[in-house]
Structure 1
């Protein structure tokens, strides 16, 4: 069973799809991402990493909601990631961006 199938099975067993419209899923992604960020608040990156179990939980929540949104919109996650990587490769060519943290408009 794929991750998407497991997420859908969990959701469908509880009849929650009715509550998972795209607006609410986008909100939930943002809220869970904020909870992930909160783990690092007032800490160095190294200090935040020490709470790896909380990081795993919050990152999983972000991904689960993202998977549900992709499913609602009938999007293939591998396909949209590949598409975005192609776009990013064009915006950030290796010869200009390697070892450079500048955004694409500054390259």
Structure 2
């Protein structure tokens, strides 16, 4: 299974329902934000310890899986609609972040790159 094959499955799913006209970049971005909010809601009031063990609670684990799948689906669909190669975009972003956060200066730190100093 590849990102492209998942995108095709989602495109086929939308086409079978004649939903393409609703899958604009704006609508998909809004849906992505909404689903991300639903994922955040699961963790909102958990302690750090509870959040680390959320997957050991079957009902919560199922909700986490479903919301993460929704987020992933909308992200894939939006990338497809905008013709963004997510694999290439991620590789480029990793390289950018590697320059912003050199391992020798960023290791073990959560500072923003502008605060790392030279």
Q: Give the TM-score category using the shorter length.
A: over 0.9
List gaps (5 residues or longer) in structure 1.
Answer: none
Aligned length: 107
Q: TM-score, normalised by structure 1?
A: 0.92
User: Is 1:32–2:41 an aligned residue pair?
Assistant: no
Query: Which aligned segments of 4 or more residues in structure 1 are displaced greater than 4 angstroms?
Result: none
Distance 2:10 2:47 in 1: 33
**1:9 counterpart residue number:** 12
**1:104 counterpart residue number:** 113
List gaps (5 residues or longer) in structure 2.
Answer: none
Give the structure with higher Rg (CA). 2
Distance 1:46 1:64 in 2: 28
Task: Give the drift of 1:45.
Answer: 3.9
**1:61 counterpart residue number:** 70
Distance 1:65 1:46 in 2: 29
Deviations 1:66-94 (A, max 9, x none): 11111111111101111111111111110
Task: Give the drift of 1:46.
Answer: 4.0
User: Is 1:18–2:27 an aligned residue pair?
Assistant: no
Inter-CA distance 16–46: structure 2 relative to 1 (3 Å threshold): farther
**2:104 counterpart residue number:** 95
Distance 2:96 2:18 in 1: 37
